């Protein structure tokens, strides 16, 4: 990864909860430790369903995980000075058979993934979302973040269609997490748990 010195410093002392070098019991992952939202694009990594719905002027994405959603106005520019939010501000347009989604305006407190790759508020993500066949959706990502990475870099993610499109509820809260840790890891909860 083309880290900047800022990114390397930011990663010091951070402990992931998943992945090869993880230490779940001592993870500093904000989504585990504080039940913070996964944020974007990490939301894509959760292995539950998401649904894409297109209307005349918007595309909406709905995730089963924690009932998160985002709106993607079509053929609209970004706001002049968007707020920094967990999921950023997205706008989209069709280029042939690809939906191109441009996102900015992210809080810098989320991780890009469960390993702990950081980003700054200058993160800019472009997604090219294509249905490569009836069963497969592919997203090509381009990440730009001059504070955290010395050059733009790319990644891909493939998704398979599910034909039962019922969306369930999979919500995990701080009380769930503390209860889990008490029961399976014998960690004493720092606050009383609502059960």
Q: How many residues bind another protein (CB under 8 A)?
A: 60
Applying CB under 8 A, which of residues 36, 108, 113, 121 lies at the interface with another protein?
A: 113
Tokens of 53: 């719905």
Distance CA 61, CA 56 (A): 15
On whether the CB atoms of residues 96 and 109 are closer than 8 A, the answer is no
Distance CA 41, CA 34 (A): 18
Binding positions for another protein, 159-178, rule CB under 8 A: 159-162, 164-165, 167-172, 176-177
> Is 79 a binder of another protein (CB under 8 A)?
no
Q: Smaller CB distance to another protein: residue 102 or 141?
A: 141
CB atoms within 10 A of CB 192: 8
Query: Does a cis peptide bond (omega within 30 degrees of 0) precede residue 172?
Result: no
> Shortest gap between Cβ of 25 and another protein (angstroms)?
7
> Is 71 a binder of another protein (CB under 8 A)?
no
> Is 46 a binder of another protein (CB under 8 A)?
yes
Longest dimension (CA), the chain: 55
Applying CB under 8 A, which of residues 79, 152, 155, 194 lies at the interface with another protein?
A: 155
Q: Which residues pair with 91 in a beta bridge?
A: 102
Q: Smaller CB distance to another protein: residue 51 or 93?
A: 51
Distance CA 128, CA 93 (A): 10
Residues near another protein (CB under 8 A) are: 1, 16-20, 22-25, 27, 32, 41-42, 44-56, 64-65, 112-115, 117, 131, 137, 141, 155-162, 164-165, 167-172, 176-177, 180, 183-186
């Amino acid at each position: 990864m083309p880290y900047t010195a800022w990114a390397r410093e930011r990663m010091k002392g951070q402990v992931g909860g998943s992945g090869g070098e993880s230490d779940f019991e001592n993870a500093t992952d904000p989504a585990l430790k504080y039940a913070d939202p996964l944020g974007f694009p990490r939301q894509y990594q959760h292995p539950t369903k998401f649904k894409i719905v297109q209307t005349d002027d918007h595309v909406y994405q709905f995730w089963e995980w924690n009932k998160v959603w985002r709106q993607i106005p079509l053929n609209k520019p970004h706001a002049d000075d968007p707020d920094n939010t967990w999921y950023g501000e997205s706008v989209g347009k069709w280029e042939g058979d690809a939906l191109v989604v441009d996102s900015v305006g992210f809080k810098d407190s989320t991780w890009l993934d469960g390993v702990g790759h950081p980003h700054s508020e200058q993160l800019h993500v472009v997604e090219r979302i294509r249905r490569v066949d009836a069963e497969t959706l592919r997203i090509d990502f381009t990440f730009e973040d001059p504070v955290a990475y010395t050059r733009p870099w790319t990644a891909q993610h493939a998704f398979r269609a599910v034909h039962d499109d019922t969306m369930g509820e999979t919500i995990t809260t701080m009380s769930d997490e503390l209860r889990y840790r008490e029961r399976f890891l014998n960690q004493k909860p720092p606050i009383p748990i609502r059960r």
